[in-house]
Structures are given as C-alpha cells and as structure tokens.
Amino acid sequence: HPFIQPPQVEWASGALTKGPLLRKSTRIRDLIGIFADDPARQRLAGEHVVYDVEILATSPAEGELYTGVTHLYPGRVGDEYFMTRGHFHARREQGEVYFGLRGNGLLLLQNEQGQARLESVCAGSIHIIPGFTAHRLINTGSEVLSALAVWPGVAGHDYAALAKGFTLRVFEENQQIQVREAQNE
C-alpha cells in the first residue's frame, strides 16, 4: 500500500526532514537594538548566526497550522544571553505551543500590559503561549537550545509592537543566571 511518508522531526536534535522546508538564519548584524549592550554586539562578527528557524512549508490559510523548529545557539552579547528577537502575533488573539527538544533556556512571555514571566525550557517541556502574549527564547546553557513550535498560519508576526522591548533581560553574572528589569529604553 502506498502510505504517505509525512515529514519527520528527529527529537534529539530537532532536525526536520522529509518535508518541504523554509529556512531562515538570524545573525548578529540583524539584531540591532535587541541586546542591552549594542556596542558589545557591534564588536562581535556580524555574520555569526544567533538562531536558525526551519518551517514546514504548509498552507497559511485560516484554520491551518504551521510547524517550525528554532535552533538558538549558545553565546552572549556582553553578559546578556543569546535570544530570539521576540514578537507578538499580528493577530493578537492567536496563541502558540512550544516544545523544548534539547538544551536549556528560558521562554520569556509578556502580556500587553508589560507583565513578564519566565518558563524553564528543557527537553520535553511544553509551553502554552496564550493569545495577546509576546514570546522570546533565551539560551542560558552552553549547548544549542532547540524548540519545536506550532502556531496558526494566520497569526503573523508583529515585531514593531515591541519597539520598547521586553521588561526583563537575562544575563550571566558570576556564572549564575541573573534576571534584571530592563532599563527604560
């Protein structure tokens, strides 16, 4: 019988295979204004990749879901851990689910009132991101942090709404994870 071979995720690495994939790399030079210490960012190699995203190329129609994997590499800009840009969904009411696959980090969640919380991300962790909630991954470990995500095709991304940024930042200080209130930027 000609069974359909669906796409696959290799759980241990997050590698997506057998599907039509879209890939995007985000580099140090793309992350202007994201980290607290921009001069420290400018001292790093601009072409250095901070995170890769792979998305199964599926339909963006109302009711359909996207599946993607983010690989966030270990590193810091100054003392601040590598992180994704972070966003609200353009359609604010649309939620998302993240599943930790490997590595160790944090998921920063923030509502429209600016109230933030942090969830630990590790292999097997499940993160329910409600609507109206901005989200950002932070790699606090020394390995790659990989997470699988499923979100509505109609959700879209709104990066500009976070122009003032998240209200929490995460740094390494004396080999410890330090959470600080962001300065009014």
Among Zn ion, ligand PAN, none, what binds residue 18 when CB lies within 5 to 8 Å by partner kind? Answer: none
* Residue (9 or 137) nearer to ligand PAN, CB: 137
Residue 3 Cβ, how far from ligand PAN at the closest point, in Å? 29
Which tokens sit at 97? 């689910």
Span 94-133, contacts to Zn ion by CB under 5 A: 96
Residue 3 Cβ, how far from Zn ion at the closest point, in Å? 32
Among ligand PAN, Zn ion, none, what binds residue 54 when CB lies within 5 to 8 Å by partner kind? Answer: none
Residues contributing to the site for ligand PAN (CB under 6 A): 26, 53, 68, 70, 84-87, 96, 135, 137, 149, 151, 155, 157
Residue 179 Cβ, how far from ligand PAN at the closest point, in Å? 19
Span 10-29, contacts to Zn ion by CB under 5 A: none
* Residue (80 or 96) nearer to Zn ion, CB: 96
Which residues in this chain contact Zn ion in the complex, by CB under 5 A? 96
